[in-house]
Amino acid sequence: MSRDMMASFELYQPDTVEGAVELLGRFGADGWALAGGNDSFDWFKDRIKRPKYVVDLSGIAALKGIRETVDGGVEIGALTTLTEVERSPLIQERYQVLADAARRVASPQIRNAGTIGGNVSQDARCWYYRYGVNCYRAGGNTCYADTPEGQNREHCLWGSDRCVAVSPSDTAPAFVALDAKMVIVGPKGQREVPAEEFFIGPNVDITRMTVLEDGEVLTAIRVPAEWSGARFYFEKVADRNTWDFALVNVAAAMKVSGAAGSERIDAIRIAAGAVQCVPRRLTVVEEVVTGQAKNAETASLAGQSAVRGATPLNFNHFKIPLLQNLVTRAVRDA
């Protein structure tokens, strides 16, 4: 397969959301929404995805920027860069977990061009799929990663259904922990979807990672006031400290009461990435630690409960103790 030059496409550069939705609706499966291009151009250059029409969203001013909402939360335009999210004083003051997650994405160059909307909408990073093989996710009838000798070190511990790829986004678990809402505009109007429901597994639709349908644009992400200024924790472990996807990441938001040394956990939301096809909300951990003393024993119980039911593949057993340790630290150190 020739991989030296992009296949040609028609480029459209609307300056309104309505214009983009009209174009994407008209083109359907032949169209492609382009944001910062970090994910898109990989596909195009490898000639694996060959859309006929590309709709560049980068000229739509309404999709950019970070604003306070009337309820004391924050709305982030989908075309806001990861660098802007990482450096925003508003995000740092209210939702440090998101600033930390954005800071751990890829490299400064990718964060300067990559958008928050693109980061949560990016496709699976399975080696085989990216190489262009005809696996289940690509419409074929086999999974190359889920075989005795398949390269599945990066793949999932839960939620497989033919495909064992994971959610690759670092910011996605932070949005789940913050109970964010994704604002989507399409031919049928606007809808708001909780972050937890925005991501979908192969059991729902093996060809997509999110609920976004042809013709729909993610316009903004709303982070509610509820967790503003809470205690937070984000940690990502990757093979390299830059330019690398998570082997496991964990994001937590926690409310505590009581004096230092005898604190109690009043409420918590915690999610892990790169362990399932969607960011995995760790509801068992939330149940185990809510109302408990915030100490080493509770943290240890949290870690143990996080990995219950994990089903490793041949080469990713290491993710189980890794997740256990990250969750233990999140509950102990948030």
Ligand X SMILES: Cc1cc2nc3c(=O)[nH]c(=O)nc-3n(C[C@H](O)[C@H](O)[C@H](O)COP(=O)(O)OP(=O)(O)OC[C@H]3O[C@@H](n4cnc5c(N)ncnc54)[C@H](O)[C@@H]3O)c2cc1C
Q: Which residue is nearest to ligand X (CB)?
A: 118
Confirm or reject binding of residue 164 to ligand SF4 (CB under 6 A): yes
Q: With respect to ligand SF4, which residue has the nearer C-beta, 135 or 223?
A: 135
Backbone φ/ψ region at 268: left (φ over 0), alpha (ψ -120 to 50), beta: beta
In single-letter form, the type of residue at position 245 comes to: F
Report if residue 319 touches ligand SF4, rule: CB under 6 A.
Answer: no
Shortest distance in whole angstroms from residue 122 CB to ligand X: 4
Handedness of CA 179, 185, 190, 191 (dihedral sign): negative
User: Quick check: 234 binds ligand SF4 (CB under 6 A)?
Assistant: no
Give the shortest CB-236-to-ligand X separation in angstroms.
Answer: 8
Residue 212 in contact with ligand X, rule: CB under 6 A: yes
Which residue type, as a one-letter code, is found at position 68?
E
Binding span for ligand SF4 by CB under 6 A among 103-111, 163-171, 179-187, 214-222: 163-171
Rounded-to-integer distance, Cα 294 and Cα 256, Å: 8
Residue among 205 and 287 whose Cβ is closer to ligand SF4: 205
144 binds, among ligand X, ligand SF4, none (CB under 5 to 8 A by kind): ligand SF4
Nearer to ligand X, 38 or 152 (CB): 38
Is the separation of the CB atoms in 208 and 129 below 8 Å? no
Distance, CA of 11 to chain centre: 27
Residue 170 in contact with ligand X, rule: CB under 6 A: yes
- Provide CB contacts within 8 A for 57, sequence distance 6+: 14, 20, 33, 34, 35, 63, 78, 79, 217
Query: Of 221 and 230, which CB lies nearer to ligand X in the complex structure?
Result: 221
158 binds ligand SF4 (CB under 6 A): no
Contact between 175 and ligand SF4 per CB under 6 A: no
Do residues 87 and 125 lie in contact, with contact meaning Cβ atoms separated by under 8 Å? no
Q: Does residue 169 bind ligand X (CB under 6 A)?
A: yes
Footprint of ligand X on 2-41 (CB under 6 A):
32-40
Q: How far is the CB of 159 from ligand SF4 (least distance, A)?
A: 12
Q: Supply angle C-alpha 81, 83, 85, rounded to 5.
A: 75
Pairing of strands 53-56, 10-12: parallel
Cβ-based neighbours of 307, under 8 Å, separated by 6 or more? 157, 320, 321, 323, 324
| Stated length of the chain | 334
By CB under 6 A, tell whether 129 contacts ligand SF4: yes
Does 121 help bind ligand X (rule: CB under 6 A)?
yes
Rg (CA), the chain: 20
Interface with ligand X, residue 326, by CB under 6 A: no
Residues in contact with ligand SF4 by CB under 6 A are 124, 126, 128-129, 135-137, 143-146, 155, 162-165
**Chain positions contacting ligand X, by CB under 6 A:** 32-40, 42, 57, 78, 82, 105-106, 110, 113-115, 117-119, 121-123, 168-170, 212, 217-218, 243-245
